[in-house]
Structure formats: C-alpha cells, structure tokens
Amino acid sequence: MTLMLLTLAVFLFVVLIMAVGVIFKRPCLRGSCGGPDIFDRDGDPITCATCPNRKRLEAEAQERRRQGPLPTVQ
C-alpha cells in the first residue's frame, strides 16, 4: 500500500511540474486537430495570429534579441 501511495504521489508531482511549465510558457489557445475552435468574447475564433498574448510575447522576444546572447561562464 505504501508503494502505491508513493507512486501516486510521484505521478501527481510530475503532472504538477508539467502544468506549471505550460502556465509559464503561455501558449496561445487553439482547437485540436479536427476539434472545435476556441472563441473570444466577441465570438471570433482565437488563432495564433489573433492571440491576445501575441504582441506581448513578440515584444519580449525582440527585447531578448536586442540584449544579445547571455554571457558564458568559463
């Protein structure tokens, strides 16, 4: 019984870590292949082109490119 509970705890921990990774990555929402589209408040479908986070994410990426590569430790 202890082994089963330990296995369940490890499994739930891994799922939690994956969920946190998805939350911080903030991918745009979209329907699955062949699945229904996701709509915004106005009823328009949300795609990567119309994702509300797109402009912010592009600005952050441009800022990282402008700062240049990270220094390496030797």
Q: Is residue 70 part of a domain?
A: no
Contact of 29 with 51, CB cutoff 8 Å:
yes
Which pTM was predicted? 0.37
User: Which one-letter DSSP state was computed for residue 18?
Assistant: H
Q: Is residue 7 part of a domain?
A: no
Q: How far apart are CA 20 and CA 30, in angstroms?
A: 19
Q: Residue 37: give the domain boundaries.
A: 25-64
32 or 48, which is more confident: 48
Report the domain count for the chain.
Answer: 1
Is pLDDT above 60 for 17? yes
Q: What does the pLDDT look like over 33-73, one tens digit per residue?
A: 545 667 777 877 777 666 667 777 788 888 878 887 766 67
Q: How far apart are CA 53 and CA 40, in angstroms?
A: 13
Contact of 24 with 8, CB cutoff 8 Å:
no
